[in-house]
Amino acid sequence: MSLLHFMILTPFVFAVFVPLFRTYMRNIHTGWFVLAVPLILFSYFASHLSTNLGFAPVTYSIPWIEKLDIHFTVYLDGLSLLLSLIITAIGALVIFYSIYYMSKERESLHNFYIYLLMFMGAMLGVVLSDNLMVLYLFWELTSVASFLLIAYWFQRQKPRYGAQKSMLITITGGFFMLLGFLLVYAMTGTFSLREIIADTSLITEHALFVPAMLLILFGAFTKSAQFPFHIWLPDAMEAPTPISAYLHSATMVKAGVYLVARFTPVFGGTTEWFWIIASFGIVTLFWGSFMAIRQSDLKALLAYSTISQLGLIMSLLGIGSMALHPDQAANSMLLAGATLAAVFHLFNHSMFKGCLFMVIGILDHETGTRDIRRLGGLMSLMPVSFTLTVIGGLSMAGLPPFSGFLSKEMFFTGVLSAYRSMDGWVVLVPVLAWVASILTFVYSMILIFRTFTGPFKQEQLDKTPHEAPFGMLLSPLILASIVVITFFFPNLLSYTILEPAMHAILPSLLQGEEVFTVKIKPWHGWNTELFMTLGVVAIGALLYIYRRYWSGIYEWLTPKFSLNHLYDRGLVGMENMSARITRLHMTGYLRDYLAYVFAFLIFVVGGSLIMQNALRLDISSGAVISIYEYVLGISIAGTALFVVFSNSRLISIITVGAIGYIVSLFFVIFRAPDLALTQLVVETMTTAIFLLCFYFLPKLKKEITRIRFRLSNFIISLGVGVTLTLIGLSVQNYRLFEPISSYFEESYTLAGAKNMVNAILVDFRAFDTMLEIVVLFIAGAGVFTLIKLRQSRRNAE
């Protein structure tokens, strides 16, 4: 196992010891123990920072399921390094923040940190896995861990609802993504991402190209909350604030973005990939920013702003993918700038949004509310929190001197390059992007000024507000500092992180004479992008000031026609439908259940025999049937009929036992005395047990005098008998392989056993026999326990 493998597994290993630390170190906050994990991981990934990493990735592999081409292969390049650094750095800051946010007296911290470590390890597995099946395994594990974290306060209804919604949507998307991976494997014959990217010619002209692309994008869009799958993210805000800061701003929601970026070398350069991603991204950007303005809960506002920013990143990845299109060779470097903007904004968004979520957590922690209608006038009472909100909010709005301004300007450059390079409906892309940026400015102003300025409303607060302790402020301070430093020194990231990530997303740009290089400048002169920014500020400020005159448009969006209502009604509809189906077939009668099972057997097995032309009715090669066998066969059939028409339980049990005794006579005729003896012993024991059980059953309310004939029962019974008879005859006449009996004939040589049957049971099928004995023991123990409980209850009465 390589050190890179160990880095992925480290969070899972530490999670095992969290309960022990919680038990034996009660006076110390569990977060101090867990904090070591992301710090170690971040140090390891930071040691790989190099300007050449984009050209020299690191890879290690451990064989796993070789016959299925599934190996635990890890792959560290510029893109996975960027995500790994974000996962571990934000993880360390969130855990440090949670030490002061989460009370060790009132909270189940061991559960909190176990789920958090599980999620951290799963996210690292997603971004570092080269094998698609292993990636899918970690992908779904992030959904499970997210479910547990969102439902951390499971005593409340809203966290349970939000956790269920997030899991249903993201796991459904993951399932479709798995189907897409299988289609990619069908096209390429490999699950390795590196091998798939190295030979995309196997995919581009294949008939499964578009279906595989759509299925994979479905998974990416559900995970990264793209419209219309975004509805799970606002409800996920019921999780504790550290979870929101970690999962829903910096890491989990970036998994879909990572997947799109990772598959850009495979599907990029096609108009389908461009239009789907760019369209969904722009619509999500607009809708998220539009809905953020109407929110009164600060975390809900940040949730919709996250949706909007994810849409921005997605749209840039879609535009940048056209750099790989053959017809855009002349504009490839210009369009590639959109991909650079996506990578840069992915980094910036993690910084300023993580900072804002932590500040909102501080406000909730110190005032007792996140309702913006109850807040105001906090600037003088919480000056540090106000400063952090200004830095994060203005960076989110795309204003200088903060890093969000740089990536927002690059965003405008990207959408303009798409407009200048392509025709048709692309003209709407910069228009919608500009309108969405205006709305982003509006909700950023709402976040800053409605929270910290205006009249102070102490009577509406649950607590007397005051500034948070330094420990709670340190993590957002670090993130805010990165936001400011990145604006003045953006090229600290250019050659260490951004350029290697760019080359991982667009590797073909390295093959030409002109190699894409990254150089970011805060000032580009008086260009179109700057005028678009000035327009955003001017119009956004007017809309904020006069919002009471136009905010009434939100009243048109009635809940009855919302996507959330559609989800709820669909969920209720599925529950009602499943209840009807359950009531239809779960009648409570064993007769009906057997009818369903046997009818299924007839249609599926019998139908397969006919459709596959598998019937073989040649009995000419069979052995000669003696008079004794005829007599015994007729006796078994007659006895079975007697069981069916018997009116007495006792007689039915004895008759069933008689059938077993007659079968043992067959073994005698076939010269298998051991089997005959075994059959006699087993039949005697089961008959005795049956009699014992039936002795304790309640007596019938009325005596059965006649069994009513049912045509359906007769047809099913006849069908089962005919089907099994045909199977037996067909199997007897099929000789596709050498009979296995020849192998067991060597039982003395292989196992030293003179009795073949005993050798099969004890040696060749030893585990099977042992498990059967275990099952019988468990069943016997269960029956004994139930009998003892019943006797105890009777004695108590």
**How many whole angstroms separate alpha carbon 226 and alpha carbon 287?**
10
Nearest 5°: the CA angle 393, 394, 397 is 90
- 105 Cα distance to chain centroid: 32
What is the mean pLDDT for each group of 10 consecutive residues in the chain (797 residues)?
A: 89 91 81 93 89 69 88 92 94 94 81 93 95 95 94 90 93 95 92 89 86 96 93 90 86 92 91 93 94 92 94 93 81 84 93 94 90 89 94 93 92 88 81 93 94 87 86 94 93 86 81 65 83 94 91 82 86 87 83 88 87 75 78 88 79 87 88 84 87 73 64 87 86 72 78 78 81 89 85 70
The secondary element (H helix, E strand) that includes residue 59 is strand 58-65
Amino acid type, 112: F
Amino acid type, 110: H
Backbone Cα Rg of the chain: 34
pTM score over 0.85 = no
Q: Looking at residue 6, what is its pLDDT?
A: 92
| Region for 343 from its dihedrals, namely left if φ exceeds 0, alpha if ψ lies in -120 to 50, beta otherwise | alpha
Alpha helices in 422-558 (DSSP H): 428-445, 451-452, 470-488, 491-493, 499-505, 528-545, 547-550
328 CB burial (10 A radius; 0-12, 13-18, 19+): buried
Amino acid type, 406: L
DSSP 517-552: -----S---S-HHHHHHHHHHHHHHHHHHTHHHHGG
65 φ, ψ (degrees, to nearest 5): -105, 85
- 332 Cα distance to chain centroid: 35
DSSP 745-786: TTHHHHH--S-HHHHIIIIITHHHHHHHHHHHHHHHHHHHHH
Closest listed residue to residue 436, CA positions, set 446, 425, 447, 444: 444
**How many whole angstroms separate alpha carbon 45 and alpha carbon 74?**
13
Closest listed residue to residue 367, CA positions, set 377, 356, 357: 377
Q: Name residue, tokens 């056209």.
A: 322
Q: Looking at residue 535, what is its pLDDT?
A: 94
624 φ, ψ (degrees, to nearest 5): -75, 130
**How many whole angstroms separate alpha carbon 82 and alpha carbon 342?**
12
The terminus-to-terminus CA distance of the chain in angstroms comes to 63
**Where do the domains of the chain lie?**
352-545, 614-700+712-736
The C-alpha torsion from 706 through 707 and 710 to 716, rounded to 10°, is: -160
